[in-house]
Structure 1
Amino acid sequence: MKKTLLTTAILASFAAPAFAEVAIDRTDDIEQIKIIGTKTDSRATAGSSAVIDEEQMRIEVPSDINQLMKTIPGVYVREEDGQGLRPNIGIRAATAGRVSKVTLLEDGVMVAPAPYSNPAAYYFPTTFRMSSIEVLKGAPLLRYGPQTTGGVLNLVTTPVPEQFGGQVLTEFGENSSRDIHAHVGGTKGQWGFLLETVQRSSDGFKDIDRSSRDAGFDIEDYVAKLKWTGDRQSLLAKVQYSEEISNETYLGLTDSDFEKDENRRYGLSEIDQMDNSHKGYSLNYAFEASDNLTLNILGYYNDFARNWFKLDGGNAYVNAANNGDEDALAILHGAMDETGLNYKNNNRAYESKGIEANAQFTLANHTLELGARDHSDEMDRFQPVSVYDQVNGSLVFQNTVMPTGSNNRLEGADALSVWLTDEWRVSDALMVNVALRYEDVESYRYQFADTARSELDSARSNDSSEWLPGASFTYDVNDNWQVLAGVHKGFSPLGGGAKENQEPETSTNYEAGVRYNQGALFVEAVGFYSDFNDTTQQCSIANPCDNGAESGNYVLGESVVRGLEFQASNTFEAGSFLIPVDVTYTYTKGEISEDNLNNLDGDELADIPQNTFSMRVALDNQNGWINYIVAKYADEMCVSTGCNRTDSQFDRTESVFVTDFVSRYEMNNNMAVYFKVENLFDQQQIVARSPHGARPNKPQTASFGVEYTF
């Protein structure tokens, strides 16, 4: 898409940190751009929302984003590697595969590798360095995008300290795991800085047949921030770099082998390895033009490169073995030789860049925002295939096949987004929020017939635009009761594989609920309903579409997702102990709503558990010692649409119930120690069958940590 100079002028005339309900204390905290703010703020928004605050992050010391997401109502997780390296997170009607249907942000900046053309989150920010996590659902999410059906997930990083200081956290655990999180920074006069790193390593919890190679990972992550604050204005520069090497595979297990040893890995996957690096740059300027007008501008650039070298087509052996093919099982076990095994260099480079502009101003009882974003992203796929034979249980290299066609292609998108929001205080009791968003997306794909890219194999493009209106309100019935409701149009871009006449996924989304708040007691129940005109799947090897496609898009047809979210929290007292309790529950029903060529009315959608539940209970002696239990349950899920019409166990995952335990002791004002056991009762189930076979959650794992603050 070629933008005119007029577009650039529009963007430059405003200025935008990434959010509408930006929880910024004027210009002092632009490095922590929040969409909600505090946990208290989340319980008053005109849309259901949740905040995992700094206290919960500090106590749980989470390294796996999946485990945090399980404590938020309306959020679904499909685990894959058991360690949270490649999360699959869905929100309400937005499916879980690679977080591709959720708007993923870090401090307000889109961090999916290519949010419009290839949104699958093969890169996910390191959870260890986050200070809080925010999830926003309902009509207010129209302020963000591009994914505007289910929700927004914003990861809030460590802030620049007001005084010089820092922290070093070191954790050691089973499987030779080691985690270090260290940061130092401070503010003097107009200048502030932060230097931060996370270093993670583990041997993993799986054992590879006939191999001394571990199934673990090594991760390095570095962040630097420099902030200047002047008279009514501020500027923040942020630089991030990370790299990961993980011996991860797409190859799972047959059900019979899973039953014998959940943590086994076949020797065919011995040489599989992910190697990636990510660079992120952003520059954020804020100007308080007057008491009623704030202008912001945010420029960003992300570069992500990855090569996941792994067995291609392993699902054929697993599926055949599950259906009784003894030869396929023998090949998986290394007991039978096999020729022509393809190991693909899933080598891709991503680039994402843009500029956002926003003006926030107050007019009488209205707080309005007007902004725009000019964005472009691209994915370059060049994937040679190495051919191996399995001989006497060992892999023997044969030759390399250079890529053509779908393994040698460029995909990209250019997008212009414009938004207008109004938070209208109608009365002391009634708050109305209205939003209007416009998305104009042009995407393309070029497949090449030769490695020099001098000859095209095929080409396709798509141009789509949508107006997305929404409205919501909260009404305070009295000091304790509040009602909320909203409706908005949702949108999901098709991606770089879209053909000319394809229409993007759109939906009409409703929610309504009640809140009760009295002292420490909070209760919320929200019903939601999403009606899709054309439910669309993004196809990949990790998440094949229902038609078997591993690239492009697949349209399921009309569908409906409806459900109920419930959460409650209270703090009880028992002598000198405080006992905070938090409970969440979600019921969801997602199904095809009209017969079509591929599906029937009533076919259940994939990756949506009908029931999820969590409970967090703490025992705090108010003298530095706190014990913390987190219990999480999720129903089985369909692997593909329509599993409710079959009796095959291979069409479903298994329900899973996991309990984690943390005991933390504050030795003094500067030092704390903690002991943590994940999956306390060692409950492992088949939590995923994609990609390529049965996959377990993490087994019982103990770790010990020391936190020193200065």
Structure 2
Amino acid sequence: MNKSLLAIAVLLAIPHAYAGDDQADIEHISIISHHDKLRKEAGSATLLSEEQLAEYEYDDIHRILSNVPGVNIREEDGYGLRPNIGFRGVTPERSKKITIMEDGVLIGPSPYSAPAAYYFPVTTRMTAVEVFKGPAAIKHGPQTVAGALNLVTRQVPEFTEAGIDVATGSDGYSKAHGYYGSVVNNIGFLFEAVNLQADGFKELDGGGNTGFEKNDFLAKFNYKLSQGDLKHTFGLKLSYADELSDETYLGLTDEDFAKNPYRRYAASQNAEMDTKHTQIMFSHFLEADDFRVTSRLYRNDYERAWLKLNGIGGKDDPSLQAILHAPKLEKHQNAYALLTGERDSVVAGESSLFLNMGTNDREYFSQGLQIDATADVELLGFNHDLSVGLRFHEDEIERKHFEQTYAMVQGVSSLVEGSKEFATLNVENTKAWSVYVEDKVQFDALTLGVGLRGELMDMHYQNNKKAEDWQDKTTRIWMPSLSGFYQLTEDSGLLFGVHKGFTPSSPKQPSNVELETSINYEFGGRFNDGITQLELVSFYNDYENLNESCGQSNCGVNDDQGRQFSGGEAVVYGFEMQFSQRYPLNLQLDIPYSFNYTYTKGEFQNERYTTFAQWGYVKDGDDLPYLPNHQVTFNVGLAANDWKVNLSVKYVGSMPETAGRSDEYELILEGEKVPSSTIVDISGSYELGRYGQLYAKVDNLFDDVEIVSRRPYGARPGKPRQFSVGYKYQF
């Protein structure tokens, strides 16, 4: 961490004497949990509280976000280890086009230089999830086209609190979660730890685990002081997380999927992801009667090594996607037999075939100073709710990718010694200043918000294999926003907004590549009478230029790795609805239920030839890939004093695997679709009074089996039926 940032931290930490009564909730971006009254903020905002997160005891952020309209997801591993999340039709690939935060701070490994979210916090220890879309997300860049996701960790308690949560289930699943916090002499502290693991649900040729183990540790400290009317809260947050998972990008042919969707080919026997993540954050919260200032100084470090299959043979041999798409072609038969272990690498009288296994070894860091302030000001006879923010952020990715040759012998894949060869050695770095200002003014029943966000970025790229291959570039962009809320009655109102969206390009991309920008509109309304909550929002995102980059998870073409493609003009439009109500069946029983629906349509608005593996040759009106038109989630429960049962039904419509059609470039998955799916989850709990709580759940109750994606290499299944039971105790 550089010396200037540390010096600022020292200045922020000058103490004064104060013993406050209220815990400053600085982990939230905005408190939006007004379940009993009408929310008046402009823009779409959804909060999932700790109580809601506990209803189904999900560890998978994909399943959690099924309760938020406007979210589009591409499943990959069934456990949500590598989330693919988009809002309002942006590509879900590695969640790289949404802003992801933990406790209000950017948490991705390298949000500017390499935004693909290969690290994602363990959701088990979160006490809230906040989702902001439209103008509501203008404060939270750099990605502002779609929205922002904030994960809220447990706060340091005011009094002694502790809890444990243990569970076990099918496929070797287990969870152990515990926390303890208290206050001693005005110093509050919290310690929390989580272990999640499973053996996996896939059946590896030759045997072996296909699961994962994740550990997560959190420590927080705070100290409260005062200086006259000013209240201070100083905080320190330390966290560590690691993961070891036997995951692969290799899927199945459609024919093999139909026979056994949970099979894994012998060629993926050695696949493994090994990661470590650390965070340190100093925070200072200053509060007075009419203003609040939150300062955060943070540093995140992340390293990963992912050993996985890159291909077969040399550069001119067919790709894995081509082999699995058409395994019976004569030119693919030997390669397919090698993948399945039915053929050895060396066969007398035939050309030898070997497996190219690549280890994507990467190190990341991100660090910065972020200051956010709000003030209530009376000016020119009007009340102003003023918000301003300033952030200096630096992040970097260092790639040290290498490939090794593995030989298949009698169904077992083994390393060929001495075959290690470095493939990619480079560094990408970004230094960025971000600033925003938003003024909300009250005009009787109308609250009008005017905002502006600026992103000022200096980027550097260096190829460490070729000293002459480097680039420095500078990007400056300003994004205005206008939003409003008009209160019709005590229980209802209308919201509207328009803002400019932006997604930064990587340091490696040439400076003459057109940036991704859009103009985004939304209009809707809310109703809340304390019993019934309803929100309806329509949106229209008009892209001046739609960009996409090729990564192994979404592209699989080795020669195009890291390359950015332009899709030109495009539009995404749709409609979101969320409804919830609680119906008292009698004095002892309640029936809570909710309904979320999303309609989304994304289309190219021009004719363009691309070599991107998901687009190909597109024409005006072609659909964007991996974007379902219809998504529905229905939740219903039955609750009494000591017990409750919850049922969730989620429907996701079919999605095209590609946008356009083949021309000179071979678009392998042209015409293919991910089929629609309906997943039912059920959970129940029973209170034991002062002895804790028992709970049980079944994910995918009816064991629905569908292809969730054919990216990057072959058909992949979602998680099958999984049973688990658990016990919680809190005091």
Which residue pairs with 1:430 in the alignment? Answer: 446
Distance 1:430 1:520 in 2: 24
Tell me which residue corresponds to 2:262: 263
**Separation in 1, partners of 2:548, 2:458:** 19
Distance 2:594 2:509 in 1: 43
CA contact (8 A) 1:27 1:233 kept: no
Runs of 4+ in 1 over 6 A off after TM superposition: 7-15, 545-548, 643-650
Matches within 5 A, 1:112-131: 112-131=108-127
Shift of 1:385: 1.2
Contact 2:32 2:45 in 1 (8 A): no
Q: Aligned equivalents of 1:531 and 1:410: distance in 2?
A: 33
- C-alpha distance in 1 between matches for 2:526 and 2:668: 41
**Structure 1 residue 663: Cα displacement:** 0.9
- How far, CA to CA, are the matches of 1:11 and 1:368 in structure 2? 25
The equivalent position to 1:589 in structure 2, one of 596, 601, 604, is 601
CA distance in 1, matches of 2:595, 2:205: 41
Name the residue aligned to 2:550: 539
- Do structure 1's residue 350 and structure 2's residue 353 form an aligned pair? no
Q: Are the aligned partners of 2:72 and 2:89 in contact in 1 as well (CA < 8 Å)?
A: no
Asked if 1:607 corresponds to 2:626, the answer is: yes
1:624 corresponds in structure 2 to 642
Gap change, CA 1:580 and 1:536, over 3 Å in 2: same
CA RMSD of aligned residues (A): 2.5
Aligned match of 2:169 in 145, 167, 173?
173
The question of whether the paired residues in 1 share the 8 Å contact of 2:108 and 2:120 is answered with yes
**For the structure 1 residues 647 and 513, does the alpha-carbon distance in structure 2 shift closer, same or farther, using more than 3 Å as the test?**
farther
Q: Offset at 1:620? A: 0.5
User: Mean Cα displacement is larger for which, 293-302 or 576-585?
Assistant: 293-302
Tell me the residue number matched to 2:427.
410
Q: How does 1:211-610 map to 2 (within 5 A)?
A: 211=207, 213-231=208-226, 232-288=231-287, 290-313=288-311, 316-323=319-326, 324-325=328-329, 326-338=333-345, 339-364=353-378, 365-404=383-422, 407-427=424-444, 429-449=445-465, 455-456=466-467, 458-544=469-555, 549-575=560-586, 576-598=588-610, 599-610=618-629
Match in the other structure for 2:29: 34
Per the alignment, residue 685 of structure 2 pairs with 664
Displacement of 1:550: 2.1
Separation in 1, partners of 2:239, 2:440:
34
Amino acid at match of 2:81: L
2:658 partner amino acid: S
Q: Which residue pairs with 2:716 in the alignment?
A: 695
**Identity across the alignment (%):** 35
Q: Is the 8 A contact 1:174 1:703 kept in 2?
A: yes
Residues 497 and 553, structure 1, Cα contact 8 Å, conserved in 2: no
Amino acid at match of 2:343: M
**What is the deviation of 1:547?**
11
- The Cα shift of 1:29 comes to 2.5
Aligned AA (2:646): Y
2: CA distance between counterparts of 1:246 and 1:611?
A: 33
From the superposition, tell whether residues 473 and 12 of structure 1 become closer, same or farther in structure 2 (CA, over 3 Å): farther
Q: 1:13 to 1:589 in 2, by over 3 A?
A: farther
Q: Where do 5+ consecutive residues of structure 1 fail to align?
A: 16-24, 450-454
Q: Is the 8 A contact 2:325 2:668 kept in 1?
A: no
The DSSP-based 3-state class of the residue aligned with 1:383 is: strand
Amino acid at match of 2:455: E
Deviation at 1:93, TM superposition (A): 3.4
- Code of the aligned partner of 1:225: K
SS at match of 2:523: strand
Aligned pairs, how many? 688
The 1-side partners of 2:294 and 2:625 are apart by 40
Q: Aligned letter for 2:728?
A: E
The equivalent of 1:684 in structure 2 is: 705
Structure-1 separation of matches of 2:100 and 2:401:
26
Classify 1:481/1:14 alpha carbon distance in 2 versus 1 (closer, same or farther; 3 Å): farther
- Taking structure 1 as reference, are residues 94 and 424 closer, same or farther at Cα in structure 2, changes over 3 Å only? same
Aligned to 2:58: 62
Q: 2:272·2:307 contact (CA, 8 Å) conserved in 1?
A: yes
Give TM-score, length-normalised by structure 2: 0.90
User: Alpha-carbon deviation of 1:557?
Assistant: 0.9
For 1:15-37, what per-residue CA distance to the aligned partner results, in whole angstroms no more than 9, with x for missing partners?
Answer: 9xxxxxxxxx9972245233343
Q: Distance in 1 between matches of 2:232 and 2:319?
A: 59
Distance 1:540 1:176, change over 3 A: same
TM-score, normalising length: structure 1: 0.92
Structure 2 match to 1:452: none
| Separation in 2, partners of 1:11, 1:156 | 23
* CA distance in 1 between partners of 2:729 and 2:279 (Å): 28
Counterpart of 1:204?
A: 200
AA of the residue aligned to 1:616: N
Contact 2:24–2:233 (CA<8 Å) still a contact in 1?
A: no
Decide whether the 8 Å contact of 1:321 with 1:328 is kept in 2. Answer: no
Listed one character per residue, the Cα deviations across residues 86-141 of structure 1 (whole Å, up to 9, x for unaligned) are 00000003220111000000000101100000011100000100011010111121
8 A Cα contact 2:319 2:557, kept in partner: no
**Structure 1: which amino acid aligns with 2:434?**
S
